[in-house]
Amino acid sequence: MMALYLLVALAGAAPLSADQAVAAALVRSPERAAAEAEVTRAEGALRAATGLPGDPRLSASVAAVGEAWSLSVAQPLSLTGEGLAERTAAQRTADAAAARLTRAGLVVAADTRRAWIDAVVSRQRAALADEALAVATRIEAAAAQRAAAGDASQLDLLMARLQAEEARTHWMIAVVEEGRSAADLAARVGVDLAELELPRDPLAGAPSPSGDHAAPRSDVEAAAATVEAAHAALARERAGTLPPLQVGAFVEQEGAELRAGPTLSITVPIWRGNADGRAAARADLSLVEAQRDDATRRAGTERDAAARINEKLEVALADQGSEIPAAARAALDSVALGYDRGELDLLSAALLQAQILEGYVAWVEGRGLVAGARLDWMLAVEDARLLGEP
């Protein structure tokens, strides 16, 4: 019910913030749901391993002919520590599942913010392409009027038309890209595509980096816990070479004779000795140790690379002017007005329009790159602000 309320409230919000997108995506994410299911399974296995290592066995029999019956109960007891190893393996498996759930939430949040940033950048690119098409159309119309009046050549008219067609193609490409990115974001957050409103600045989706984060990453913790669980699983398989001791009691009657007393039994393997279980556990341990080492290396490399890239892009961002959007739109209008008044020839107007368009798109995309670098750093150090937390 809370998820439904969140999505309904989100659908009416305008514009959609990155924090709102993350909150909605976490509710709907199948990746996070899979991680939650893994936690549920691991907790169930832990509860099962916390009790007695084996269920008591109750058996009863009644003779079909004559007056004979028997009743016995037996409790398996491990003398080799198999139950303790199983509980340890289950506990560390549950710890690993919880750590993977934490990581899954952070990855979903980062991916959602990237989708939000892509949608913002694409929408701004499409908006500017629309304005550029409008300017090119005005220039084409002015060129047609001049050619009709004999003040411009047919070559000028042809150039204006080609310029308008180029602007129209750029607009089509931008519309397709904007539609795809908006559809991806809308599907993640569960908002109707027609109601998706976004701000103009992609940097709003990625907070500025602050401080260092020395805590171990959850994926590294999960890998380490998995190795510990594998060690415990190997100990369990080794202990399983000797089956549990069966301790119990019996009562039986045959005719007038009644007998009762304790029972003690054990089954000793002669040939197998659980060799297959021990070999499989050793193989699993080798695999998860390699995965742990790889996760540790990757975490360190991703942290260092993200910090280095982010530092350089933040320096570039400090030199970027914030007035570019308004200046670019004003410049496009000036180009069209200058051509209308005869102050600019067609070639100059076309070149200026292309330069303004490229400059503004570069400004938007640059801010999108900075935002992406921030997200890489935040995910590398598992900054809680990815989840929208202060």
pLDDT of 53: 61
User: Is 341 inside a domain boundary?
Assistant: yes
Instruction: Identify the CATH number of the domain in which residue 311 sits.
Output: 1.20.1600.10
User: Is 106 inside a domain boundary?
Assistant: yes
At 171, is the pLDDT very low, low, confident or very high (cuts 50, 70, 90)? very high
User: Of 117 and 138, which is predicted with more confidence?
Assistant: 117
pLDDT of 132: 81
pLDDT of 49: 84
Q: What is the mean pLDDT of residues 333-357?
A: 79
Q: Which domain covers residue 43, as residue numbers?
A: 19-54+83-243+276-387
Contact between 66 and 255 under an 8 Å Cβ cutoff? The reply is yes
Please state which of the ranges 109-113, 143-147, 222-226, 288-292 shows the lowest mean pLDDT: 143-147
- Of these ranges, 340-349, 357-366, 371-380, the one predicted with the greatest mean pLDDT is 371-380
pLDDT of 271: 67
DSSP H/E element including 200: none
Residue 110 to residue 390: CA distance in whole angstroms: 16
Please state which of the ranges 4-8, 152-156, 165-169, 287-291 shows the lowest mean pLDDT: 4-8
Judged against a pLDDT cut of 70, whether residue 3 lies above it is answered with no
Please state which of the ranges 90-104, 198-212, 273-287, 300-314 shows the lowest mean pLDDT: 198-212
User: Is 97 inside a domain boundary?
Assistant: yes
Cα-Cα-Cα-Cα dihedral sign, residues 363, 366, 372, 376? negative
At 289, is the pLDDT very low, low, confident or very high (cuts 50, 70, 90)? very high
State pLDDT tens for residues 122-148.
998 898 888 888 878 888 888 888 888
pTM of the predicted model as reported, rounded to 2 decimal places: 0.80
DSSP H/E element including 247: strand 245-254
State pLDDT tens for residues 217-255.
999 999 999 999 999 999 888 877 777 777 878 788 777
Give burial (CB, 10 Å; 0-12/13-18/19+) of 28: middle
Average pLDDT over the chain, rounded to an integer: 84
Judged against a pLDDT cut of 50, whether residue 21 lies above it is answered with yes
Contact between 181 and 119 under an 8 Å Cβ cutoff? The reply is yes
User: Is 262 inside a domain boundary?
Assistant: no
Q: How many domains does the chain have?
A: 1
User: In the numeric block, which tokens belong to residue 288?
Assistant: 């998860």
Residue 221 to residue 72: CA distance in whole angstroms: 47
pLDDT of 183: 94
User: Of 330 and 11, which is predicted with more confidence?
Assistant: 330
**How many other β-carbons are positioned within 10 Å of the β-carbon of residue 118?**
22
User: Is 198 inside a domain boundary?
Assistant: yes
User: In the numeric block, which tokens belong to residue 41?
Assistant: 């399974």
User: Is 5 inside a domain boundary?
Assistant: no
User: Is 78 inside a domain boundary?
Assistant: no
SS3 of residue 307 by DSSP? helix
At 12, is the pLDDT very low, low, confident or very high (cuts 50, 70, 90)? very low
Judged against a pLDDT cut of 60, whether residue 4 lies above it is answered with no
User: Is 376 inside a domain boundary?
Assistant: yes
State pLDDT tens for residues 25-79.
999 999 999 999 999 999 999 998 886 666 677 777 787 666 788 888 877 767 6
